[in-house]
Structure 1
């Protein structure tokens, strides 16, 4: 099994953050945009027409956002089907997968930080088992949900490690 990259790679993503996520007009976003609709600043190839001007135009939220690699992972899962720009019927499914992967990658990021702790062999085994579930592309929504509950419990059990780092 390949370790999942937790670095965003926009060049290998199909602009999922610009389509799947909602924007609420605020200091971070100049517009309201519902989830599942492409940002009006996307061109036909999925490139941002205002990329170099995002901060000036009120899109600081775009600059600050980090999917931790969930975008390219979701894009890869749907690449064979042509992606959402060529096949709009994929907007719903890829948006749901992207949303799930955002949470998964947040948890993977937490587990990556835990790897620096002085863990017991049993804790290292638990960490490896939890990562394995989250890194599987074929893990069901129910399996990921169950793993998230287990991760929450595992992270709480590591309180002494966190306090030792202070």
Structure 2
């Protein structure tokens, strides 16, 4: 995956640590409102507890990724001038950041489509869509603030669905449709889910240990605290690093190329 679609904290003004709100919970140790800098944000815009977020009660931070939107908003949209240097731009910057984050998520999915051999019939259309979305991300702050992101997603989603169908049709598995299914806490140990449609499925705390999830569509699936120990996620479609970070796994979990094994997973190599 392109480095431009990965968060680069060194070139960001700590936007996820300021713009986004969070509530005291199992994921966050404190309450924080939108526009309020996190108490752990340093003067250099880096996190003061980055290496110990989980034991410090901020596990929610470890499952977030801006997909590169932070550095684009910081360095391109606002020309490298931070909200500390120009406080009058702060509110607009905080409004624009989540918009660009959603656009960058679409760029990430479209980039994946272009890398899927089975989706070759859609590559020209995907390339055109990617160019259009990329152009939107480079609009002015005022254009981005007013952008109808839902409409952009609605135009891109059919293409993602078609790409998923092409890949899963070639999977040779059960290709079960569990789209949006409520599978919270489900016992799916060793389940044969190769090529399954799990878009938006609620898999919170599900037991997927030893399950075959190869070539399954996992776009938007909620994997919080799901057990992926020994599961096969080879070629899983539209999977993101934050989804893996939210789950549990081990050294035997098979991951798609380009993904990092989360540091909190048991037996991580």
Give the TM-score normalised by structure 1.
0.81
Alpha-carbon offset, residue 41 of structure 1: 1.3
CA contact (8 A) 1:21 1:34 kept: yes
> Retained in 2: the 8 A contact 1:18–1:38?
yes
**Aligned ranges for residues 12-161 of structure 1 at < 5 Å?**
12-76=11-75, 77-80=77-80, 82-115=81-114, 116=116, 117-120=119-122, 123-124=125-126, 126-138=128-140, 140-141=143-144, 144-145=147-148, 149-157=151-159, 159-161=161-163
CA distance in 2, matches of 1:60, 1:8: 17
Rounded to whole Å, the distance in 2 between the matches of 1:157 and 1:72 is 27
Report if aligned partners of 1:41, 1:49 keep a CA contact under 8 Å in 2. yes
Query: Contact 1:133/1:144 (CA < 8 Å) preserved in 2?
Result: no
User: Structure 1 residue 27: deviation in Å?
Assistant: 1.4
Q: Give the drift of 1:12.
A: 0.7
Determine which structure has more spread, i.e. the larger CA radius of gyration: 2
| Richer in helix (by share) | 1
Flag structure 2 segments of 5+ consecutive residues without an equivalent. 169-269
- 1:144 and 1:58, CA in 2 relative to 1: closer, same or farther beyond 3 A? same
Change (3 A) 1:29 1:127: same
d(CA) in 1 for partners of 2:122 and 2:43? Answer: 52
Question: With structure 2 as the length reference, what TM-score do the two structures score?
Answer: 0.52
Aligned residue pair count: 162
Which 5+ residue runs of structure 1 have no aligned equivalent?
A: none
State whether residues 4 and 135 of structure 1, in contact with CA within 8 Å, keep that contact through their aligned partners in structure 2. Answer: no
CA positional deviation for 1:125 = 6.0
d(CA) in 2 for partners of 1:12 and 1:125?
Answer: 27
Counterparts in 2 of 1:92 and 1:156: CA distance versus 1, 3 Å: same
Is the 8 Å Cα contact of residues 73 and 97 (structure 2) preserved in structure 1? Answer: yes
Kindly state the Cα deviation for residue 150 of structure 1 after the two structures are TM-superposed.
Answer: 4.9
> Bigger CA drift: 36-45 or 11-20?
36-45
